[in-house]
Amino acid sequence: MENPNRHLIIIITTLVEMILVFYRAEPKSYTVGDGEGWDIGTNYMAWAQPHNFTVGDVLVFKYVKGQHNAYEVSKEVYRSCDVGNGSASAGVLEKHETGSDEVVLGEARDYWFICSFQGHCLGGMKFGVNVTFALIAPPNTTHHDDA
């Protein structure tokens, strides 16, 4: 038996998606760790907490190439700090190793990042962010006559 509200739900979902695309806030760029960059000794969870990350925002990882990296990993790898063989099946989703990496937060979901160098993740070089859709009010289109 077909749900009588099915068509209404589809219409409402489509309208919401259209609104989200049309009234999206401008993406922001965040340098991870601010002036300290991506390095041992920074509390990255505290750094990330006050930010409201939204779809389209960019995380910039600045670090000395060859001394650190920035891996996007599964929640399980984030918790264990064990990248295994570094493959996707081991929970490594993306590897960033240039020393100046820009990661676009392209979906509304949780993201988990670690440094895979020995002892760095366990030493606190990791953080997670929740990325959401951003809505802004439509531009004010009211015109005022000076006459």
What is the structure's pLDDT at 142?
A: 36
12 located within any domain: no
145 located within any domain: no
The radius of gyration computed from the CA coordinates of the chain, to the nearest angstrom, equals 20
Q: How many domains does the chain have?
A: 1
11 located within any domain: no
Domain assignment of residue 64, given as a range: 25-130
Nearest alpha carbon to residue 83 among 112, 113, 61, 116: 116
Phi, psi of 69 (to 5 degrees): -155, 175
Q: Are 38 and 63 in contact (CB under 8 A)?
A: yes
70 located within any domain: yes
What is the structure's pLDDT at 72?
A: 97
What is the structure's pLDDT at 88?
A: 74
User: 44-91, pLDDT tens digit by residue?
Assistant: 999 999 999 999 999 999 999 999 999 999 999 999 999 988 777 789
User: 93-145, pLDDT tens digit by residue?
Assistant: 999 999 999 999 999 999 999 999 999 999 999 999 999 987 664 444 333 34
5 located within any domain: no
Nearest alpha carbon to residue 47 among 65, 64, 35: 35
Q: What is the CATH number of the domain that holds 99?
A: 2.60.40.420
